[in-house]
Amino acid sequence: MFIDHFAPESSPIVPAPAPPTPHTLQTDALGWLKVAGLGIAIAISGQFSGWNYGLSTGGWGGLVVAALITGLFYLGFTQCVAELASAMPSAGGFETYCRKAFGTSAGYLVGMSVLIALAIAVGVVANFTAAYGKAVLGIGEVPLKIALFGVVLLLQLRGAREAVGATMVVGLTAVGVLLLFAACMAPFVSAQHLLPAHDHDLFPHGVSGVFASLPFALWLFLGVEQAALAAEEAADPSRTIPKALTIAVVTLLLVGLGVLFFGPAGGGTEQLRGADDPLYAALTSPFAYGKQGWLTKTIGSGALIGLVATFFSVVYTSSRQLYSLARDGYLPSSLAATNSKQAPHAALAVVVGIGILAALFPPAKAMLLVIFLLCVSYVFVLAAFVRLRLRNAALPRPYRAFGGCVTAYATAAVCLLVLWACFAQQSTGMAYALVVYALLLAHFSLIQRRKMPA
């Protein structure tokens, strides 16, 4: 059963500061600006690649409506996450919240779901980065991937302040590149470019097209909520996390709508719909600049920067997820080891290894699996939010989500629609995911639970 017995908590006791141990992270290392930058950097690759696949499923109009729906979803969802993170600041994030609400089995399942999704996302982003690197700079995909994995591992071993600080700068640079892209495409904007070649309709598939485009629109924001994993290393989480998450989502929504408009309207939906490097495809489209030049290479290089920002950020969040699962007894405790910089070096090594394997698979199909796995965890988190509101009112909540349970119910409804859309488009892959869930739960129930500390 997911709902396990847990003893009621007594009044919270603030512990005295303790020296670092081999299983602790840096504290008070991150302010709201760095956490917001981390959230933007995690999701920014969705602005450069992946969203354009929705042009095939829903047309330009269907994709834009889906983007507005998912933008509102993330504003509501991050409100719920912010309340939970301020009440329970932990690198475990979703796992911590669900464990508190439903017990160890649910905590394990959600934690592993997030971990697997983020680890696969590392490989997806590596593939998108390699596609841009090959198109813009002519760099071979294999050397670029080797460089990416090597550099990110070395940087993140230096600790949270250094890793997140560098990632924040790169993420904000990527936002600037997207704004520059919009400005450069503006002279070529035409309403005719938004229409399919054989069906002059902004909504060629009607309402069903909006539904089918939801997963690809979600990719514009996917992972931004994982910045809440930095709560354990943030200064004053009750103020830092809500402010940072809201700023990150609003920034991604505004920039994403700009990309959705200026990319297809300037370069044409037909040129972008199947490209792994849609921004570069828009720039070199016959409707725009038509060929490579210093401007297209500059913006293409900026796209690489954005993808690298997400790559660094996803490695950061997935390593913290793995670290937390090991620290809490779900996985071998050796994976919770940290180095002299208080960076989880064992978890980083494992995540990088999984990412290398995931990079061997095509990104288009892997995307839907990442979205499906994270949306499953979203549903559990929203259920945990409601349960803790109703059953554990005494839990200290320095920040309370706008709209409370109503917000949670509304965002859960959108999340279920996205899960349905993923199943409708790739039922075989999602069925395999359900089998993996069953195997993970069986492993935990029969083996790992007995090894957990009492």
d(CA 330, CA 333): 8
Span 169-187, pLDDT tens digits = 777 888 888 999 999 999 9
Strand partners of residue 234? 30
What angle, rounded to 10 degrees, do the helices at 345-358 and 104-132 form? 60
Check residue 268 and report its DSSP letter.
Answer: -
d(CA 370, CA 47): 16
CA distances from 330 to 85, 274, 309, 335, 357 (A): 20, 40, 29, 10, 23
Quick one: pLDDT at residue 163? Answer: 55
Quick one: pLDDT at residue 377? Answer: 93
**Closest to 372 (Cα-Cα) out of 289, 295, 320, 431:** 431
Quick one: pLDDT at residue 4? Answer: 45
CA distances from 58 to 37, 51, 202, 260 (A): 31, 11, 9, 13
The 3-state DSSP class for residue 294 equals: helix
Helices (H), 88-103: 94-102
| Amino acid making up residue 190 | S
Instruction: Record the pTM.
Output: 0.83
Quick one: pLDDT at residue 454? Answer: 53
Q: Please, what is the Cα angle at 234 between 231 and 238, to 5 degrees?
A: 65
Helices (H), 14-156: 32-43, 45-48, 54-87, 94-102, 104-132, 141-156
d(CA 112, CA 39): 20
Quick one: pLDDT at residue 28? Answer: 43
Do 268 and 283 form a contact (C-beta atoms < 8 A)? no
Do 167 and 312 form a contact (C-beta atoms < 8 A)? yes
Q: Which domains does the chain have, with CATH numbers?
A: 32-451 (1.20.1740.10)
Identify the segments of the chain with pLDDT beneath 50. Answer: 1-28
d(CA 283, CA 71): 26
